[in-house]
Amino acid sequence: MKLEGKTALVTGAGSGIGEGIALLFAQEGAQVVALGRTGSKLDEAKARAGEAGARIHNVVADIADGEAVKAGVAAAVEHLGRIDILVNNAGTNVPDRSLDKLTPEDFALMTDVNLNGGYNMIHAVLPAMRERKDGVIINVSSIAGVRVSQLAGAGYCASKHGMSALSIAVGHEEGRNGIRSIMICPGEVNTPILEKRKVIPNAERRASMLQPEDLAQAALLAATLHPRAVINEMIITPTNAEFA
């Protein structure tokens, strides 16, 4: 097992990419805290994990709430003893994405979850990682964090560009402390966030997208490199999608 003896905290772990990463990490031997806002979703994901579910420990917290994050990380440390790997995955979008319809409330929601939430998690785990001179922080951004698209919308793109910049900044400042910061920027992924599009993709279209298990494999690669090596930025897209 590639992660035997390791511990991981995965946000947004009740479905989609987060569920896929938590599952694979547990299958590879890690003790995993699956963190999310909805306990029932976390419980359902743990049940779907089968035998690997014994290594998954659920914690309910809203990453946009700084105090809730402190409590959630404390609970994770109680379960795990320490956090070797943080996976910042939780994210959201809204149906009305064009600037003529995007409300200040929806813009603030995306910023709070996609950017501030990631910062809250990083801020909470960094002190212990610095003390140990070791740690892996995997930030699931988006291809919308590399280039702007109308499909993703202005608010989502702005928040994901912020997350991308934050990930790189963490690497710049904390690499000297043995902490590796990895940014994964996927193209279209078949996850529940697709339900928030104005036009929801059909089953055939979804099947041609990246799947959560593809992102889990990417995260596993990032987490298992030798400590002397780091993937600063990984862009992963469906094979049939143009990239330029």
Gap between the Cα atoms of 203 and 186, Å rounded: 19
- Record the tokens describing residue 237, joined without a space: 């897209």
Selected catalytic residue, list 156, 158, 181, 182: 156
**Residue 184's closest CA among 231, 140, 126?**
140
- What contacts 220, CB < 8 A, 6 or more positions away? 2, 3, 21, 24, 25, 28
**Residue 84's closest CA among 137, 162, 163, 23?**
137
Across-strand partners of 32? 8, 56
Q: Which amino acid is at 99?
A: L
Gap between the Cα atoms of 63 and 30, Å rounded: 22
- Whole-angstrom CA distances from 227 to 3, 84, 177, 180 are 14, 12, 11, 8
Dihedral sign from CA coordinates of 146, 151, 154, 158: negative
Whether 119 sits among the annotated catalytic residues: the reply is no
- Contact criterion met (CB below 8 Å) for 59 and 32: no
Gap between the Cα atoms of 5 and 146, Å rounded: 34
Across-strand partners of 59? 35
Query: Residue 5 is inside which H or E element, if any?
Result: none
Provide the annotated active-site residues.
156
